[in-house]
Structure 1
Amino acid sequence: MIETTLTDLPRYPLASVDHALRIIELLRFEPAMRLSDVARELGVANSTAHRLLAALAHRGFVRQRPDSRLYTAGDALLEIGRTAVLHGELLVRARPLLEKLAADLGETIHLGIREGTLVRYLDAVESTRAVRVAARTGRSLAAHWTSTGKMLLAGVSNDMVRRLYGTQQLPTGTASSIDDIDDLLTVLDECRRVGFAVNSGESEVDVVSVAVALRGQDGTLVAAVSCAAPQHRLAVADADGVARRMQAIVATNQI
């Protein structure tokens, strides 16, 4: 039997979910498995293993080879692995850039990517000032609340943004948040025109942030970086100057 690493069992375990995740884990060690192999490893009947594999195949996590009937990792599972590797590489390459931005601007710097209508913060360098914006590493927020998210949304077409949200009214984080899709599209048009995005108290009251794009060597938008500070130190009127300083540093520190 294949040995895998286990953490504490959840308080309310779901056997079918646990079995499905166990199959995914098994494919780490055995690139191709027969139905009977899966059933034996799980300690279930072949019919139960077949239902689990069919559900995973429906979502693209496994696939069955038509020539041998063996089960292998599906495209969805492979894509998750590729994404994890890419994000890991991005973190390594972007860290020196974040540190340079933080040293130059003296404020908290975030690195973010878009996941649908959310922005996820992969890394941050927090300001050393006594009054500062806390790092949001690991957190996700509505993209249209944040400068990082707006910069990333500006990287796709307005039609795509409409499809992503699928509604006219947008959720709000504060009284200053954009709450209408048409207003958001107008803001994104401006982001594309000026090359940066601003968040003025839209995700957190009294916090202002400015974001610029990070592009790969082929020009593809891969992430965005933002500078966030208390409103009394970073006014919206200062956004253009801050953005230009950020863009100059980004241009000399390609990732």
Structure 2
Amino acid sequence: MQRPAQTRQMDQLGTAKPPQYPIESVDNALRLLLLLGERSEVRLTEASVYLDVASSTAHRLLSMLQYRGFVRQDPISKAYLPGPALTGVAFAVFARMDIPRVAAPILRQLSDALQETVHIGMLDGTSVRFIAALESPSAVRVVSRLGRTMPAHCTSTGKAMLANFSDEELHKLYPDPNLEQLTQNSVSTLTQLCAELVEVRKSGFATSREESEEGVASVAVAIPARGPDVRLALNASAPSYRLRPSHVRKVAGIIGEAAAELATKLI
């Protein structure tokens, strides 16, 4: 089982040098928590392969995490999901954290570098809520969407976060295969969305070209957050004539560097 990209990124955010006296069982338990932060559920066989340990060892680790409330087991599928203790800790940390304040210097640097409007979005079910923004200094610019909520599949920010879901998870999230359209360019079916998210996973960034608003294009990169069920992404929005397809990969690289830097602040 290949380690998920976001989990590898989260591992890299920790100390590069292992402790002098590492405790393998503790490390494995923490790695399982990181895996649950990346995925909505984990099965025993997956945990065993991921940790490269026997199924009995993985079961003991999961049982202890379940005892302390960090995971819970679905009675039907037997898969393990984030428990109340884990989500409680995550949301308590984020509730105390003023994300707009923490992100302000990075948003300023990104806006200065790109000369475009930048946002941070948070996934809320099938919607994206814009929780921080800084408008472009240009006279012709995309107006801030701060405080607005939009269908995730119609925005680059939302698609960057949805790309971290498996197709099975996406079908659960979107039981109706027909999706709401904000413009004629919006993704209209779940099949189309899943196909697009394959490309997002490959490239590491998502795009939207007049899918949420006529004349607006954007590029977004997911922020590797440490909390389960807390998904964030960073985007840059511009008039579509200014954000040409040939510029997208370069812009995405700049946003990606800012997203990685911001992730180190959100701890």
What band does the TM-score fall into relative to the shorter chain? 0.5 to 0.7
| 1:44 equivalent in structure 2 | none
Pairs aligned (count): 180
Maintained 8 Å contact 2:207/2:220: yes
Q: Unaligned 5+ residue runs, structure 1?
A: 1-74
What is the TM-score with the length of structure 1 in the denominator? 0.64
Q: For residues 203-246 of structure 1, give each alpha carbon's deviation from its aligned partner in whole angstroms, at most 9, with x where no partner exists.
A: 00111000011113699974101000001110123211110121
Classify the secondary structure of the residue corresponding to 2:207: strand
Shift >4 Å, 4+ stretches? 217-221
After the TM superposition, which of the residue ranges 172-181 and 154-163 deviates more from structure 2? 154-163
The alpha-carbon deviation at position 85 of structure 1 amounts to 4.3
| 2:257 equivalent in structure 1 | 248
Q: For residues 68-99 of structure 1, give each alpha carbon's deviation from its aligned partner in whole angstroms, at most 9, with x where no partner exists.
A: xxxxxxx7xx95x9469437433332222111
Matches within 5 A, 1:42-57: none
User: 2: distance between equivalents of 1:168 and 1:222?
Assistant: 23
Choose between structure 1 and 2 for higher RCO, CA contacts under 8 A separated by at least 6 residues.
2
| 2:131 equivalent in structure 1 | 122
Classify the secondary structure of the residue corresponding to 1:224: strand
| 2:184 equivalent in structure 1 | 175
| 1:143 equivalent in structure 2 | 152
Backbone CA RMSD of aligned residues:
2.7
| 1:163 equivalent in structure 2 | 172
Q: For residues 9-43 of structure 1, give each alpha carbon's deviation from its aligned partner in whole angstroms, at most 9, with x where no partner exists.
A: xxxxxxxxxxxxxxxxxxxxxxxxxxxxxxxxxxx
Matches within 5 A, 1:191-230: 191-216=200-225, 222-230=231-239
Whichever residue aligns with residue 131 of structure 2, its letter is: L
Classify the secondary structure of the residue corresponding to 1:159: helix
User: 1: distance between equivalents of 2:229 and 2:178?
Assistant: 30
Aligned equivalent of 2:108, options 99, 105, 110: 99
Q: For residues 40-75 of structure 1, give each alpha carbon's deviation from its aligned partner in whole angstroms, at most 9, with x where no partner exists.
A: xxxxxxxxxxxxxxxxxxxxxxxxxxxxxxxxxxx7
Maintained 8 Å contact 1:155/1:221: no
Return closer, same or farther for 1:83/1:177 CA change in 2, 3 Å cut-off: farther
Classify the secondary structure of the residue corresponding to 1:91: helix
Maintained 8 Å contact 1:146/1:198: yes
Q: For residues 81-124 of structure 1, give each alpha carbon's deviation from its aligned partner in whole angstroms, at most 9, with x where no partner exists.
A: 94694374333322221111111100000000100100000010
What is the TM-score with the length of structure 2 in the denominator? 0.61
Give identity over the alignment, percent. 35
| 2:242 equivalent in structure 1 | 233
Return closer, same or farther for 1:109/1:87 CA change in 2, 3 Å cut-off: farther
| 1:112 equivalent in structure 2 | 121
User: 2: distance between equivalents of 1:185 and 1:83?
Assistant: 32
Q: Unaligned 5+ residue runs, structure 2?
A: 1-83
